[in-house]
Amino acid sequence: MIPFLILLLAAGPAAPPAADTTAPPVQLVAAPAGVRAFDTPNDQGKSITIQWTAGKGGKAEAWLVERTGPDGPKVISTNAAGDIGYLDEGVKDRVRYTYRIAAVAGTDTAWSEPTPPVASSPQLFNTARMNVLISMLVFFVLVVYYIETAKRGKNLFVRRIAGLDAVEEAVGRATEMGKPIIYVPGLGSVADIATIASLNILGEVAKKVAQYDSALLVPNRDPIVYTVAREMVKESYAKAGRPDAFKQDSVFFVTDQQFAYAAAVDGLMVREKPATNFFLGMFWAESLILAETGAQTGAIQIAGTDQVFQLPFFITACDYTLIGEELYAASAYLSREPLLLGSLKAQDYGKLLILVVVVVGSVLLLLSKTPAFSVFRNIAGFFNIN
């Protein structure tokens, strides 16, 4: 045994095996897999979308996107390691291109196979907006149905809106006190629905003001709104049978600067001490500056806006506030015009429909967690608007 050990120690450590020079070189990075290029959907053309996934093997540090078109191959983009797609917006419509993607790691580059040729073209219909179209059509049908119902003379019930019931009282108060009414049609442009709604209410208010022989002041921030407001007030005075009572300078343009406008209207309120203030339309940060000054002058204040963030300020500082859609309902409510009331009913049923969709959708989403109802797991995606 001892001679055997001596022999083993004398032999020393085992020699390393000789290097295998016939083995293939180690691939550091894998070429991307599943590369596909397609015409970007729902766009105005001149755009191709390229998508890929990382290949199995070494991780890429960056991706190169190569486009081959009539001008030959050209690397058009270097993308970060986390990217899995690229939007090529430098293409011409109806010209065929192929794409290759390279995974880059250090000095190593691995190219994918080229994609089949693809050409971009503009689309005629945005399929991602199909949900909007369906909802719009349903709502249009409701509106038309209830307008037709109203035309047939059916009495449509509309819930009481305290802020609008107070309009008559507010105008009457101004007459009794011999003080003017200030009507602020908001700071929005005539393209805003809230401004249009406000101008419709202005027409009704101006008619009552003309009947009661009160004074009306309408300061404006937008020149187009000013032009429309002046015509509306003038027309309302004419309709009330008092065209001579209309004063040209009762509707006037102040400035298009937000806070300069607020300062001017504040000054007007402090000097004129109006009996009633109307703040109806679009408002931003100046809402509380206006409403609080008006409250301090002791005026009855009726406000209304569809700007959710300004509503708390108006509710706090004004006597009556039209919340959101109540502003839109005002012209129908005040005029009691059957056609306008019909559309108001359609709005109510539209909301009911949304409520049903929300409840049913929520239940289905909850149920989709179970295998039997897993088909509904993407139901929320239908309501996305792109």
Partner 1 sequence: MKRNIPLAICLGMGILMMVQFFVPHPISVGFYDLTTKWVRIVAAFALVLGVGSFVMYHSEKLRRRRPGWFYSVVALVAAAVSTVVGLAWGVKQTSPLQNYIFTPLLVPLNASMFAILAFYMASAAYRAFRARTKESALLLIAAFIVMLGMVPIGAAIWHKLPDLAEWILSVPNMAAKRAITFGVALGGIATALKVILGIERGWLGGGKQ
- Residues within window 294-313 making contact with partner 1, judged by CB under 8 A: 295, 306, 308, 311, 313
Residue 327 binding partner 1, by CB under 8 A: yes
* Candidates 167-175, 177-185, 285-293, 360-368; binding stretch for partner 1 (CB under 8 A): 285-293
> Which residue in 226, 246, 279, 283 binds partner 1 (CB under 8 A)?
226
Q: At 85, list the tokens.
A: 């797609």
If binding is defined by CB under 8 A, does position 211 make contact with partner 1? no
Tell me the window of 1-9, 54-62, 275-283, 334-342 that interacts with partner 1 (CB under 8 A).
334-342
User: What DSSP string describes 207-259?
Assistant: HHHHHHT--EEEEESSHHHHHHHHHHHHHHHHHTT-GGG--GGGEEE--S-HH
Residue 14: Cβ within 10 Å count: 6
Please report where in the chains the tokens 């996305």 appear, as a residue.
384
State which of residues 272, 361, 365, 379 lies at the interface with partner 1 (CB under 8 A). Answer: 272
Contacts to partner 1 from residues 344-363, by CB under 8 A: 344, 346-347, 350-351, 354
CB closer to partner 1 out of 115 and 287: 287
Identify the three-state secondary structure at position 276: strand
Residue 289 sits in the site that holds partner 1 (CB under 8 A): yes
Q: How far is the CB of 119 from partner 1 (least distance, A)?
A: 16
86 strand-pairing partners: 50
CA dist 63 and 110 (Å) reads 10
35-64 positions binding partner 1, by CB under 8 A: 42-45
User: Which residue lies nearer to partner 1 by CB, 49 or 220?
Assistant: 220
Given a contact cutoff of 8 angstroms between Cβ atoms, the answer to whether 140 and 353 are in contact is no
Interaction between residue 278 and partner 1 (CB under 8 A): no
Binds partner 1 (CB under 8 A): choice among 324, 361, 365, 376: 324
325 lies in the site for partner 1, by CB under 8 A: yes
Contact 205, 240 (CB under 8 A): no
Q: Dihedral angle at the C-alpha atoms of 287, 293, 294, 298, nearest 10 degrees?
A: 150
Q: Which tokens hold the place of 201?
A: 């209410």
Region binding partner 1 by CB under 8 A among candidate stretches 66-74, 107-115, 170-178, 267-275: 267-275
Residues 87-146 that bind partner 1 (CB under 8 A): 122-126, 129, 132-133, 136, 139-140, 143
In angstroms, give the least distance from the CB of 382 to partner 1.
17
Cβ at position 57, least distance to partner 1 in Å: 39
CB of 343 to partner 1, least distance (A): 5
The correct pick among 119, 288, 367, 379 for binding partner 1 (CB under 8 A) is: 288
Q: Which stretch binds partner 1 (CB under 8 A): 53-61, 71-79, 163-171, 196-204?
A: 196-204
Pairing mode, if any, of strands 62-69 and 48-53? Answer: unpaired
CB-based contacts of 251-258 (< 8 A; 24+ apart in sequence): 251/218, 251/220, 251/226, 252/218, 252/219, 252/220, 252/226, 253/220, 253/221, 253/223, 253/226, 254/219, 254/220, 254/221, 255/221, 256/221, 256/222, 256/223, 258/187, 258/221, 258/284, 258/285, 258/286
Question: Interface with partner 1 includes 277 (CB under 8 A)?
Answer: no
